[in-house]
Amino acid sequence: MKILIVEDEQKVNSFLRQGFEEELFTVDSAFDGEQGLFMALTEEYDAIVLDLMLPKKGGMQVLAELRKEKSTPVLILTAKGQLENKIEGLNAGADDYLTKPFALAECIARVRSLVRRSQVERPANQLIAGDLILDQLQHTVRRGAAVIELTAKEFKLLEYLLRNKDSVVTRSAIIEHIWEITFDSETNVLDVYMTRLRKKIDDGHETKLVHTVRGVGYVLRDPE
């Protein structure tokens, strides 16, 4: 597990670093908000321990900017009274918080549980095929860096294909699932939706994800 500690007090930073390293974490340290945000955005961490009172950029600002790009779990460190209440920090996108002074063992335990939680949540929230990510909670679809706008039906259709990734789904199964009625699978409604969906997710990409299985239905294949 790799974590980032953003804390300007040298003593606290190295104390945390040592503690986490003893527990076999890989640890990077940042000593101000700008450096911390830069590292958080450019490196992949399993969790971030973020102090609130930081030079150059405050912890809340770091958190707000990080959350526009990434959902890395964040544990906020706060001196008593800095954070009005738990809600403020959690609303700002923190996953947990700890009031200073704290016990090292508790900090490590909280980080561990954040990482565990995010690892459990990720597959449940997100359906992934290659560089395509559908987030079921946020209702967003991305392919690589591009955000793809889908209508409600197209979203449902893609979600269904992703859930059945690498298996062929029949036309009638799709129709039943998406329209919740059984209409003639010879109808071209499905073809119209399929064409639109494929245009949105596959056009301009060398690797196509959706494939037609002639006479049967469709399959969304993971290129990996």
Binding site for Ca ion (CB under 5 A): 8, 51, 53
End-to-end C-alpha distance for the chain, whole angstroms? 24
Q: Give the residue at shortest CB distance from Ca ion.
A: 53
* Counts for the chain of helices (H) and strands (E), in that order: 8, 12
Amino acid, single-letter form, for residue 66: L
* Residues forming a β-bridge with 212: 218
Q: How far is the CB of 74 from Ca ion (least distance, A)?
A: 15
Amino acid, single-letter form, for residue 70: K
Query: 81 vs 204, which CB is nearer to Ca ion?
Result: 81
Q: How far is the CB of 202 from Ca ion (least distance, A)?
A: 48
Using only the alpha carbons of the chain, give its radius of gyration.
22
Query: 8 vs 159, which CB is nearer to Ca ion?
Result: 8
Query: 77 vs 162, which CB is nearer to Ca ion?
Result: 77
C-alpha 169: how far from its chain's center? Answer: 27
Q: How far is the CB of 77 from Ca ion (least distance, A)?
A: 8
Q: How far is the CB of 53 from Ca ion (least distance, A)?
A: 4
